[in-house]
A and B are shown apart, each in its own frame.
Chain A
Amino acid sequence: MWAFLQKLSSPKYFYTLAETLIPWLGWSCLLFMLAGLYYGLIVAPPDYQQGDSYRIMFIHVPAAWMSMLVYMVMALAGGISLIWRMKLAEVIAASSAPLGASFTVLALVTGALWGKPMWGTWWVWDARLTSELILLFLYLGVIALNSAIDDKRTASRASAVLALVGVVNIPIIHYSVTWWNTLHQGATVTKLGAPSIHLSMLIPLLLMAIAFKLYYGLTLLMQARCEILERERNTHWVLELVDNPR
């Protein structure tokens, strides 16, 4: 196990491993997404209160979950890179930031598009919405730090500290709907006890959630390969690769 981890942490090994994993992740992501869209848009019945507008949930909820999951991955990778100076962890953290920011934007905008017809407003400064907006600013801060510092390894160390400090926001987002009286509804799936959502709506939601996770894996590997190429551009193996591109 330790030997495998050590091998995995070599950028060159990871670069080739990612190449073989990418098609598998891509096709399985597409499969889950098509199934999720079919069950979510065609099979699932309209909601008895919200009509068809609730179908935004199948994008909104997976995107919001991913915005927090990607942040945890980014902060964890940042922590590992601070402690063990592991190059691959720096690559994972730097590649995750733009992806997490995308999921956060998607969650915020689909939330506004769902809020307008259901709550009568695009935006309110309630705890859930505000803490999710802060999450977006944290991502943007990490991206800005990464691009403002020329030396990639120094940049990674600085952004790792910011990412770790920002972890405090994650439980705030998750519990905001119980700690404060928010316009946003409470959790129906990620709570103790049985989910209070009908199976016909839970199935497409879970299918889309899996599809989003596979999509993150896919785009993370794609971004990480670019990041590795850029950071290792003076090494022997990259120059060899440039001679015989794959």
Chain B
Amino acid sequence: MYEFFQMGGYAFYVWTSYGLALIILLANLIIPLNRKRTLLRNLARKLKLRRQQHDHTDENP
């Protein structure tokens, strides 16, 4: 097991490469998930606001 993590003395280069790959691959999954959540939340808020204004003008013509 120790030998495996040593990577024949190249541990720093090999594991930094794999670690960076993991970070970049995960980031590209998290970014669209966050973006979609924010977009849907903003759209819902805008829609609610528009409906409230609409109701308001109906009550006081």
Interface residues of A (CB under 8 A from B): 41-42, 46, 51-53, 55-56, 59-60, 63, 98-99, 102, 105-106, 109-110, 113-114, 116-117, 215, 218-219, 222-223, 225-226, 229-230, 233, 238-239, 242-243, 245
Please indicate the chain A residues that have their CB under 8 angstroms from the CB of B13 in the complex: 53, 56, 113-114, 116-117
Specify the chain A residue showing the minimal Cβ separation from B39.
A229
Question: B32 near A51 (CB under 8 angstroms)?
Answer: no
**Interface readout for B11-31 with A: 1 if CB under 8 Å, 0 if not?**
001101110110011011101
Indicate the member of A46, A105, A222, A233 with the most B CB atoms within 10 Å: A222
CA distance A187 to B7 in the complex (A): 25
Q: B-side binding surface: helix, strand, loop or mixed?
A: helix
Partner of A59, one of B4, B21, B28, B39: B21
The residues in B between 1 and 56 inclusive whose CB is less than 8 angstroms from any CB of A are 4, 7-10, 13-14, 16-18, 20-21, 24-25, 27-29, 31-33, 35-36, 39-40, 43-44, 47
Q: In the bound complex, how far is the Cα of B61 from the Cα of A89, in angstroms?
A: 46
Interface residues on B, range: 20 to 34
A121–chain B nearest beta-carbon distance, Å:
13
Binding site for A on B (CB under 8 A): 4, 7-10, 13-14, 16-18, 20-21, 24-25, 27-29, 31-33, 35-36, 39-40, 43-44, 47
- Chain B residue nearest to A56 in the complex (CB): B17
